[in-house]
């Protein structure tokens, strides 16, 4: 959710917005995090032991605190939580001060939240839910150029290429079958919290128009389809991306008037034709069109 929202923000928010550079920075960090998770997932595919994987698992505890766990790997005898960091430089884990210090190639030292403590928090919570199941964790450094310096004596910290070896070693230590994989997987899925909407905007704060998927230029609405004046791409469903952005940043439903503003449609009757694919919601005197979560797959 966060990545998709940031992607929509970069596309829809003017660069004069006071927080625009913050959004760009967050987008870059989130994209790097996803790339790191992809690297971890690649190595997890080598596992020959029966298992189930939950990625980007979100769950809320009784105090309404959110736990966002990069990976939960379920085995019949053990649950492993993985916290992934995709960073370069020399990484030193200061446990007493609860911080991660990164020394860059230019000598600059930067401080980051301590992933070891984040991981401990996750495993403590899961252990409170399933006290009969062994739950362990590890911090995985996804960038191969990173140098791991000082580390925690209690939580394993290693590069991605050690994942399978770590899991094999852990399964030898915890070998007693305790779980039905499918049953436990479905149980965890049932506890999963819906994605959190981190950023919220009003329609007036967004750029209007439908943008070309090929060159990102603004498209013109001509005879029922959208045409890019720059690269000449024609796409009658190009407005689906605009509606997807609106759903992520403003609301899951939209009025005809809002749609005309968002997509620069000159006629409300043309808008009605374009919105005919979507369920109609009546709320008092207002008519809304519901924007499906999977709208981009409807083309």
User: Residue 4, SS3?
Assistant: helix
Residue 269: φ, ψ to 5°: -75, -35
Give dist(CA 1, CA 17) in Å, integer: 21
Task: Give residue 76's pLDDT.
Answer: 97
Q: Tell me, yes or no, whether 199 lies in a domain.
A: no
Give dist(CA 246, CA 241) in Å, integer: 9
Final residue of a structural domain among 169, 191, 213? 191
> What's the whole-number average pLDDT of the chain?
94
Q: Other CB atoms closer than 10 Å to residue 132's CB: what's the count?
A: 7
Final residue of a structural domain among 191, 221, 240? 191
Q: Tell me, yes or no, whether 196 lies in a domain.
A: no
Task: Give residue 62's pLDDT.
Answer: 86
- Where residue 283 falls among pLDDT bands split at 50, 70, 90? confident
Task: Give residue 299's pLDDT.
Answer: 72
Find the mean pLDDT for residues 119-133: 95
Task: Give residue 153's pLDDT.
Answer: 84
Q: Are 249 and 9 in contact (CB under 8 A)?
A: yes
Q: Tell me, yes or no, whether 198 lies in a domain.
A: no
Q: Tell me, yes or no, whether 143 lies in a domain.
A: yes
**Is pLDDT of 2 > 80?**
yes
**Is pLDDT of 22 > 80?**
yes
**pLDDT (tens digit per residue) in 189-241:** 999 998 777 899 999 999 999 999 999 999 999 988 999 989 999 999 999 99
Q: Other CB atoms closer than 10 Å to residue 228's CB: what's the count?
A: 21
Final residue of a structural domain among 159, 191, 223? 191
**Is pLDDT of 26 > 90?**
yes
Give dist(CA 225, CA 285) in Å, integer: 30
Range of the domain at 131: 2-191
Same domain, 179 and 279: no
Within the chain, residue ranges assigned H as helices are 2-12, 20-44, 115-129, 163-173, 181-191, 239-249, 256-263, 268-274
Q: Tell me, yes or no, whether 139 lies in a domain.
A: yes
Same domain, 52 and 138: yes
Same domain, 289 and 251: yes
Q: What is the DSSP string of 172-238?
A: HHS-S----HHHHHHHHHHHPPPPP------GGGSPPS-B-TTT-PBEEEETTEEEETTT--EETTT
């Amino acid at each position: 959710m966060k990545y998709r929202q940031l992607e929509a923000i970069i596309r829809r928010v003017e660069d004069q917005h006071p927080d625009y550079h913050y959004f760009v920075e967050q987008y870059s960090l989130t994209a790097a995090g996803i790339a790191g998770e992809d690297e971890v997932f690649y190595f997890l595919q080598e596992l020959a032991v029966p298992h189930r994987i939950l990625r980007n698992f979100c769950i809320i505890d009784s105090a309404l605190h959110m736990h966002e766990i990069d990976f939960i790997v379920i085995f019949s005898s053990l649950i492993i939580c993985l916290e992934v960091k995709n960073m370069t430089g020399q990484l030193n884990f200061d446990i007493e001060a609860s911080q991660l210090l990164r020394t860059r190639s230019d000598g600059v030292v930067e401080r980051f939240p301590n992933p070891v403590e984040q991981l401990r928090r996750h495993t403590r919570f899961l252990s409170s839910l399933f006290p009969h199941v062994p739950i362990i964790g590890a911090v995985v450094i996804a960038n191969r150029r990173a140098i791991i310096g000082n580390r925690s004596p209690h939580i394993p910290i290693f590069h991605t290429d050690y994942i399978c070896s770590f899991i094999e070693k852990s399964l030898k230590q915890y070998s007693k079958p305790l779980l039905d994989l499918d049953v436990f997987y479905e149980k965890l899925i049932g506890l999963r919290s819906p994605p959190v909407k981190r950023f919220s905007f009003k329609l007036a704060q967004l750029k209007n128009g439908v943008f070309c998927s090929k060159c990102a230029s603004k498209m013109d609405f001509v005879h029922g389809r959208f045409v890019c004046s720059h690269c000449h791409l024609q796409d009658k469903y190009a407005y689906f991306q605009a509606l997807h952005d609106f759903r992520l940043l403003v609301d899951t439903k939209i009025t005809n008037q809002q749609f005309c503003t968002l997509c620069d449609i000159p006629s409300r009757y043309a808008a009605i034709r374009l919105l005919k694919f979507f369920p109609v919601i009546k709320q008092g005197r207002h008519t809304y069109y519901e924007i499906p979560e999977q709208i981009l797959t409807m083309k």
